[in-house]
Each structure stands twice: as C-alpha cells, then as structure tokens.
Amino acid sequence: GCAWAAGAGDGWGGVERGLELIGEMAERGVMPDVITFNNLIAACAQAAGMSDGALALDQAFKLLWIMMELGLEPDEGTCDTLIATCAKTAAAGDADGVTFGVKVLDMVYSSGLSPDPSMYKALLEQCLKVAKSKRGGPGCPDGWHGVRWMSHLLALMEAFDPHTSEATAAMFANLSGLCHRRVHALLAQPSSSAAPAAPTHTEKARAEGAGEGAGE
C-alpha cells in the first residue's frame, strides 16, 4: 500500500513505509517481486512531484539496484515509474532528473522495451527545456559534449519512433534543429576555443543530417 499512500498525499512518508515493508518481508523470508518494487518506485515518483525530487530520485535508483541484485529483471512498469520519477524531479528544477532519465531510456532500449507515451513525453519536454537553456551544467553539457548528448538522445528517439505522436515528432524536430545549429556554431569557432573532445565525423554528420529543415 506504499504507492497508494504516497499518491494520497503522504509523499515521502509513503516511500518510507514501503521501505519498512521490504525490511519486514526480508525478516520473514518472503522474496519481494517486481510488482513490489514497481509500487515502491511509483511512490518515489509521487514524492518527486511533491518537492522531494532529489531524495526520491536517489531512492528510486537504489531500489532499482536492490531488485537487480536480487535477480529481478526490470519490466516496462519499472522503467515507466523510473521515467516518471526523473521527469517530475526535472520539472521541480533538478536537472539530475534529465541526466538519469536519459540513462533510463538507455535501459529501456537495451531491454527491448517501449516507454509509456505519457511518461516519455513528460521526460522529453524536460530534456528539450534543458537543451534550450544555452548553458552547460547538469542535464545537458555545453560545447561538443552537449552535441554528443543531443545526438545520443535523438538516436534514442529514433529507435522509439519519434512519429508516434504529433507532440513527440515536434520535440524531435526542435531538438534536431537545435543540435544542427549548435554544430555549425561550434564549427565556426576558432579551433583553440573548441572543446577538446569533439564528436567523430559520423556523429557530426548524423547531427547535421537530423537537423536539415528542422526548426527550434
């Protein structure tokens, strides 16, 4: 009942009760299943939306680590609740939500899963917001590192099909155009001011090609 407690307005209190439940199960020799962990991470997502973002994000990924240590494989429910936690953390102003959100998308892709459309859209909105901020830092770095980050996110979006909805297609076009313009701006800089770790020719070509005809 921890996820429902958090959803009812208990916030972090619901997460704490869920963690106590895990401890009680361990004492009784009862093995928690994937659904148990999904409910706990869902409680973290609820808490993240109630100004407990950094703490909820940290706990959500600790729960992921514990379940994998127990030999439990994350399913779509696990990934969707993690994405929700990351999106809500980022929406509360903590760019770490974007950083970890992209890591979750990597996990979704490598596991052959598909993200929930609404949770995925919420995370992409935060990713695009950070990318447009025009300053390096948590979430999207600056310089060529930022181009690498955007190119990687675009590749993930392509893998999940960016045209599943008008909103996703628009965000893909916006990010593509932004990446394209950043590449040209960096190439126009004197070589001494460019970041030392520039993308490979293939990565630059992909970023430029993705941005053809796209607007911010």
Q: What is the pLDDT of residues 19-73, one digit of tens each?
A: 777 778 778 888 888 988 898 898 888 888 776 678 889 989 989 998 998 899 9
The angle, 0 to 180 degrees and rounded to 10, between the axes of the packed helices 12-27 and 34-48 is 160
pLDDT at residue 192, as a whole number: 43
**What SS3 class is residue 171?**
helix
Which 8-state DSSP code applies to residue 7? I
pLDDT at residue 204, as a whole number: 47
Lowest mean pLDDT among 14-28, 47-61, 139-153, 171-185: 14-28
Lowest mean pLDDT among 41-45, 58-62, 138-142, 177-181: 138-142
Q: CA–CA distance from 164 to each of 50, 61, 116, 167, 170 (Å)?
A: 30, 28, 12, 9, 11
pLDDT at residue 140, as a whole number: 66
Q: Which residue has the higher pLDDT, 157 or 26?
A: 157
Q: What is the reported pTM?
A: 0.79
**73: amino acid identity, one letter:** E
